[in-house]
């Protein structure tokens, strides 16, 4: 058997503030005292053991870095944030206030917050799991100030010339001689007793170079300057190395030395690719095994951010996620999957991170997406097995989390809040007072969680999935070539190594059972799978575990095809083995 492919692992994203919170008050815009907050210490040995048993390999602790908040920690030497430039009560974890500190919300003992995080890292490693945290390089909170930066480290903006719009040596972009104006429509949940002052105004995080952004902009953040002059045709000024580059390198190395195994890099494509191509090798000098994941939404930049930017993995959101979502919602086509691997990621598919949920996306079970967690199961199997790249799950996805009410700033939109303190009811059932077990789960939740657990185990133990080649079978079955094979709803492919061959077949139709034939061309059977033309074979079901055995002769699969009956919304994996 071949060695495990380093690219096939399972990331479980934990929104740290919500994970261990057992408070059930759930008051809209509730304070930390009213609604409660999860802590680093909640993710204890029992929790980590349960997650390890669930079959994940990496834990992405979301919201670790200190960020702007309306919770007052001034008694601990942390400057309070102005309510006019914070979203929600807890605040967005993507409005970082101190790159060298952790969120005080997550500590049982606030002065000891870094030690509590370091203990979590150590615990996670003890259970054989890897630690991923967010790195937010494009923007910071408007009132960014590092209280705990190492001695000799200059803060962002400390040496800036704020009389000019742009200078390569500045950390920020400025609108000289203008005050920042809070967007119209922003309604803070706390009373505003004093105005917010920022002069000169700084450019807003989503590349808004004006003194007043709109309420739909990232107005709680300011854009960082990597040496790109956006108002001069994006001219680049990278020699000498810009101050922001050097500061960010030091921050990444700081966290790497604390045992962090990987960084999920927020909005990576808003930062010049040349920076990544320089900083990632710099960090890997410290730890060659550290991984970098880019949140990126422009397929035309994928190749650039892998090969020039040196990223290990990229979000497959615009391609696979969007295509599968359309199919789950009943208005897509399986032919899109072929287009994605052919035109977007076919020759670097091992670099694509696949998922159906994360903190930015609507929950599968919500009425805004599938309305039913089971509807997405074929898409989940496909996401996990299409190629050798990693798979990601969002906490509670395996329990069918379905947000049905406003949770604060974010409103009622099918997402789990990232801006406010909250308890997630379905997840709290599994937390079960810190027992992290299935005692309080419904039968349906137990079954759903078992599906995800089986899928995690399947992708990690079958070498055709974690290390094998891929062969799309649409071109030889769709468009009337095989009986009743509708290429809009049926999808099939092979994953293969010398020692293992698996046929995957999906029916994405929501209500129709499909009786069809699926064939593998003779030349593929002989030259790709390297199987003989004499002797009988059988299709041994390997996922899910209970499906009918299919007997066949070689001539059947390469000429007429394998006869299959596919229930609605189904996924099957058959290992091709000698009879």
Element (H, E) at 231: none
Strand partners, 62: 15
pLDDT of residue 536: 80
The pLDDT value given to residue 510? 92
Confidence of residue 346 (pLDDT cuts 50, 70, 90): confident
Across 540-569, average pLDDT: 77
**What values do phi and psi take at 431, rounded to 5?**
-60, -45
Token code pair at residue 51: 């997650």
| Cα–Cα distance for residue pair 171/159, rounded to 1 Å | 8
Could you report the per-residue pLDDT of 273-296, keeping only the tens digit for each? Answer: 999 999 999 999 999 999 999 999
At 172 the pLDDT is: 98
- Per DSSP, the three-state class of 339 is helix
Q: Above 90 in pLDDT, residue 242?
A: yes
225 close to 270: Cβ distance less than 8 angstroms: no
Q: Kindly give the pairing relationship between strand 469-472 and strand 490-496.
A: antiparallel
Alpha helix segments (H runs only) across 198-317: 243-256, 273-286, 302-303
Omega before 200 within 30 of 0, i.e. cis:
yes
- Per-residue pLDDT tens digits for 22-34: 999 999 999 999 9
Confidence of residue 1 (pLDDT cuts 50, 70, 90): very low
> What is residue 556's predicted lDDT score, i.e. its pLDDT?
76
- Please list, in sequence order, all residues whose beta carbon lies within 8 angstroms of the beta carbon of residue 430, skipping any fewer than 6 positions away: 399, 436, 437, 438, 440, 441, 445, 449
pLDDT tens column, 352-373: 999 999 999 999 999 999 999 9
CA distance 70 to 212: 22
Q: 3-class SS at 45?
A: helix
Rg value, the chain, Cα: 25
- Determine if residue 574 is left, alpha or beta; phi over 0 gives left, psi from -120 to 50 gives alpha, anything else beta: beta
Cα 216 to Cα 219, 292, 407: the distances in Å are 8, 29, 18
- Read off φ and ψ for residue 357, nearest 5 degrees: -140, 145
Q: Which two tokens stand for residue 516?
A: 């069809």
Tens digits of residue pLDDT in 128-145: 999 999 999 999 999 999
Task: Give the per-residue pLDDT at 2.
Answer: 45
User: What is the Cα–Cα distance from 543 to 377, expressed in whole angstroms?
Assistant: 12
Tell the burial category of 177 from Cβ atoms under 10 Å away from its Cβ (0-12, 13-18, 19+): exposed
Read off the pLDDT of residues 497-532 as tens digits, 9 standing for 90 and up.
999 999 999 999 999 999 999 999 999 999 999 998
Tell me: pLDDT of 55 over 70: yes
Distance CA 63, CA 356 (A): 20
**Could you identify the residue written with the tokens 């990693």?**
390
The pLDDT value recorded for residue 555 is 67
pLDDT tens digits for 420-458? 999 999 999 999 999 999 999 999 999 999 999 999 999
Please, what is the angle between helix 45-54 and helix 113-126, to 10°?
40
Residue 208 DSSP code: B
Portion of the chain with pLDDT greater than 90, in percent: 91
User: Is residue 415 within 8 Å of 364, Cβ to Cβ?
Assistant: no
| Top-confidence residue, 118 or 559 | 118
Structure token pair of residue 91? 């605040």
Does the N-terminal peptide bond of residue 544 adopt cis geometry, omega within 30 degrees of 0? yes
DSSP state of 528: I
Q: Is pLDDT at 549 greater than 70 in this prediction?
A: no
Average pLDDT of the chain?
A: 95
CA angle 176, 178, 180 (to 5 degrees): 115
Half-sphere exposure of residue 577: CA atoms within 13 angstroms, side-chain side: 11
pLDDT tens readout for residues 176-208: 999 999 999 888 999 999 999 999 999 999 999
8 A C-beta contact, residue 456 and residue 545: no
């Amino acid at each position: 058997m071949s060695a495990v492919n380093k690219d096939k692992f399972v990331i479980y994203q934990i929104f740290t503030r919500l994970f261990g919170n057992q408070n059930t008050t759930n008051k809209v815009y509730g304070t930390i005292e009213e609604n409660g907050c999860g802590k680093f210490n909640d993710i204890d040995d029992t929790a980590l053991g349960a997650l390890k048993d669930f079959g994940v390999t990496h834990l992405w602790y979301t919201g670790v870095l200190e960020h702007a908040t309306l919770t007052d920690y001034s008694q601990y030497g942390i400057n309070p944030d102005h309510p006019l430039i914070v979203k929600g009560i807890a605040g967005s974890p993507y409005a970082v206030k101190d790159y060298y500190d952790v969120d005080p919300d997550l500590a049982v003992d606030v002065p000891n917050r870094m030690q509590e995080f370091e203990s979590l890292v150590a615990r996670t490693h003890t259970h054989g799991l890897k630690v991923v945290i967010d790195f937010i390089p494009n923007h910071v909170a408007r009132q960014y100030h590092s209280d705990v930066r190492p001695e000799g480290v200059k803060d962002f903006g400390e040496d800036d010339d704020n009389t000019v719009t742009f200078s390569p040596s500045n950390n920020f972009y400025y609108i000289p001689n203008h005050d920042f104006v809070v967007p119209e429509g922003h309604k803070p949940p706390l009373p505003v007793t004093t105005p917010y002052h920022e002069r000169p105004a700084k450019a807003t995080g989503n590349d808004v170079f004006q003194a007043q952004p709109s309420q739909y902009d990232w107005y709680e953040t300011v854009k960082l300057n990597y040496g790109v002059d956006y108002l001069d045709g994006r001219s680049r000024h990278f020699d000498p190395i810009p101050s922001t580059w050097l500061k960010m390198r030091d921050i990444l190395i700081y966290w790497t030395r604390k045992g962090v195994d990987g960084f999920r890099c927020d909005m990576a494509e808003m930062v010049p690719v040349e920076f990544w191509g320089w900083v990632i090798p710099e960090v890997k000098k410290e730890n060659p095994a550290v991984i970098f994941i880019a949140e990126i939404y422009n397929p035309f930049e994928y190749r650039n951010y892998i090969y020039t930017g040196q990223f290990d993995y990229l979000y497959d959101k615009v391609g696979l996620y969007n295509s599968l979502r359309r199919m789950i919602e009943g208005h897509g086509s399986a032919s899109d999957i072929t287009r994605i691997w052919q035109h977007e990621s076919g020759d670097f598919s091992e670099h694509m991170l696949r998922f159906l949920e994360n903190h930015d996306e609507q929950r599968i079970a919500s009425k805004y997406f599938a309305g039913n967690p089971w509807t997405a199961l074929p898409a989940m199997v496909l996401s996990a097995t299409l190629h050798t790249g990693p798979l990601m799950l969002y906490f509670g996805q395996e329990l069918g989390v379905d947000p049905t009410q406003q949770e604060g700033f974010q409103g009622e939109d099918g997402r789990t809040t990232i801006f406010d303190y909250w308890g997630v009811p379905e997840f709290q059932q599994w937390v079960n007072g810190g027992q992290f077990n299935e005692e309080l789960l419904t039968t349906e939740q137990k079954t759903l969680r078992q599906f995800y657990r089986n899928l995690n185990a399947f992708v990690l133990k079958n070498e055709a999935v974690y290390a094998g080649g891929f062969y799309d079978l649409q071109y030889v079955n769709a468009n009337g070539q095989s009986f009743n094979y509708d290429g809009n709803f049926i999808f099939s492919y092979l994953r293969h190594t010398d020692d293992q061959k698996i046929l995957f077949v999906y029916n994405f139709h929501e209500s129709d059972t499909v009786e069809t034939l699926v064939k593998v061309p003779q030349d593929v059977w002989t030259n790709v799978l390297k199987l003989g033309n004499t002797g009988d074979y059988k299709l041994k079901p390997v996922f899910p575990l209970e499906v009918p055995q299919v007997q066949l002769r070689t001539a059947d699969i390469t000429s007429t095809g394998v006869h299959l009956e596919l229930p609605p919304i189904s996924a099957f994996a058959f290992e091709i083995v000698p009879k």
